[in-house]
Structure 1
Amino acid sequence: MSCEENNLLVSRQGAVATLTLNRLERRNALDAALTRALLQALEQVDQDAGVRLVVLTGAGDRAFCAGGDLAADLAAGQDVRATLALYADLLQRMHTLGTPLLARVAGYCLGGGLGLALACDLVLASEDAVFGTPEVRAGMFPMIIAPLLVAHLGPKRAREMIFCARRIDAGEARELGLVNRVAAAGRLDELVAEVSADILAGSPTALSIGRRALARSAHLGGRQDAEELINELLEVLASEDAREGIQAFLQKRRPQWKGR
């Protein structure tokens, strides 16, 4: 198993494949190239009968994934709609994968990064992990991951997290059902190894068939639903508030909203 992109590190130890987001300078934020690399790696995993578990993590301890890197995509001349569709495809592919997915979360897990974690079957976090959806503070909205948030939190708590741009620690994330287990400082890899062994002790056939059955029973929306969400997000991104929010974020100041 290999990956052409240096921004995604792919390793294999026994039956466990580890995918490491490797954009340290951007806190492992997702750009189009990294999203494509993840899709490619998941396709390879799905075709490898020897892989029975995928661990998704971020390089370093500062961030699992700080969200989407639209600024980098725009600078590279990427089409915004295509980038958003690519991310929606990634979440859908994670949803239909026949191999269990485990998120190893240290540091920031925000926006699109939170969507990645929630698309995994289990989320294991270090006690210093921080989860949140800061998009509205930058004039945007976490449109594509909203269904995942509602599925995990329920409508009221999901709205609070999104509308108030709340950031929560690992302990609260566990209480809310976003995280399965929390590791003490320096013990996250130990916890990942322990839970991985528990998963690998089960029947590969039962886990593969059962995961796909669970995916069919959970309505997280298909491509048509994703297209509608993308259209709505593009409408938000075209607003003056979105431009102001992005500029304010880059200039490290409070945005001056115009309401249009």
Structure 2
Amino acid sequence: MNLVAVCAEQTGDTLQITLNRPEARNAMSLQMVGELCQVLQAAEATAGQPDAVRVVVLRGAGGHFCAGGDLKDMAAARMQTMQKADGAEDPIAKVNAEFGALCVAYANTPLAVVAVLEGTVMGGGFGLACVADVAIATETASFRLPETSLGVVPAQIAPFLVERLGYSQAKRLAVTGGRLDAAAALHLGLVHEVTGTATVQTVLDRVLADILACAPGALAATKALMARARLETPQSLVQDAAAIFSRAAMGPEGLEGMTAFIQKRKPQWALP
């Protein structure tokens, strides 16, 4: 895989994906969007293999996570929109939808997703932070939701903002062009832990160890069930949740987990 805008390095069960446009504070270009999708698809395709990826770590090069969308791509799309024939596809909408599809892919992946947030976390980068299962921020992290102050809309990240922050806080930040430091992001639940730059790797290693101690199949099933639980009533999920639990309990992971607990040892998870 020929990657330019991102770097991908696998160590054991973990794939670290680094947004690699430090000269632009890792602004999200169309090329970066495409490469992030390709890398995730390749990681998901390793399921069942000896070198299967179980956790994806997202971080940025050069001390920043992501400064949002690339304005050059937006300017090019605006020019194409002005020149498009009647009835032709809207280039700006197409660019925006491609980023939305990226967010959905990372939100829906059966793999665990951890974001390490440093420096600028803005716009689309803010949205990616909301998509991650676990978000770790350093004290350098500075969050901003600038879309409305630029005359546009946080269109594709809006559902993830509401999911992560709740309707009231998401709306407040959107209508004020919200700015948050790391401590405020922790208070709102945008991130789950704040640490110093010198200790971030230690915190990340601890989080990865906790994730990898969980059964991969059970983790994927749990993520899928929780995604449904956001939108469905508890009553409507009773029977499906029971069936999901039964399959897990009767499956190899359930057997290994219970056996390991009884034998007072760490479970040895087979590949899903």
Q: Deviations over 1:129-164 (max 9, x none)?
A: 011201122111212211211222222211211111
Q: Deviations over 1:41-75 (max 9, x none)?
A: 110111112111000111121x2001111323534
Q: Secondary structure at the match of 1:205?
A: helix
1:55 paired residue number: 57
1:230 paired residue number: none
Structure 1 segments unaligned to the other structure (5+ residues):
220-260
Q: What is the identity percentage for the equivalent residue pairs of Structure 1 and Structure 2?
A: 36
1:240 paired residue number: none
1:173 paired residue number: 185
Structure 2 segments unaligned to the other structure (5+ residues):
81-90, 232-272
Q: Give the C-alpha shift of residue 94 in structure 1.
A: 1.1
Amino acid at match of 1:6: V
Residues in 2 aligned to 1:195 and 1:114: alpha-carbon distance in whole angstroms: 21
Residues in 2 aligned to 1:82 and 1:4: alpha-carbon distance in whole angstroms: 24
Residues in 1 aligned to 2:227 and 2:165: alpha-carbon distance in whole angstroms: 18
Are 1:151 and 2:153 matched, yes or no? no
Residues in 2 aligned to 1:135 and 1:201: alpha-carbon distance in whole angstroms: 39
Larger Rg: 2
Residues in 2 aligned to 1:64 and 1:116: alpha-carbon distance in whole angstroms: 10
1:141 paired residue number: 153
> Conserved in 2, the CA contact under 8 Å of 1:98 and 1:211?
yes
Are 1:83 and 2:85 matched, yes or no? no
Are 1:9 and 2:21 matched, yes or no? no
Where is the helix percentage greater, Structure 1 or Structure 2? Answer: 2
1:68 paired residue number: 69
1:127 paired residue number: 139
Q: Give the C-alpha shift of residue 80 in structure 1.
A: 1.7
Are 1:93 and 2:105 matched, yes or no? yes
1:163 paired residue number: 175
> Conserved in 2, the CA contact under 8 Å of 1:95 and 1:215?
no
2:30 paired residue number: 32
2:211 paired residue number: 199
Q: Which runs of 4+ in 1 moved over 6 A?
A: none
TM-score calculated relative to the size of structure 2: 0.76
Give the counterpart of 1:103 among 99, 112, 115: 115
* RMSD of Structure 2 on Structure 1 (CA): 1.6
TM-score calculated relative to the size of structure 1: 0.79
Q: Give the C-alpha shift of residue 183 in structure 1.
A: 0.8
Amino acid at match of 1:58: G
Amino acid at match of 2:92: V
Residues in 2 aligned to 1:159 and 1:208: alpha-carbon distance in whole angstroms: 30
Residues in 2 aligned to 1:33 and 1:195: alpha-carbon distance in whole angstroms: 30
> Conserved in 2, the CA contact under 8 Å of 1:29 and 1:68?
yes
Q: Secondary structure at the match of 1:142?
A: coil
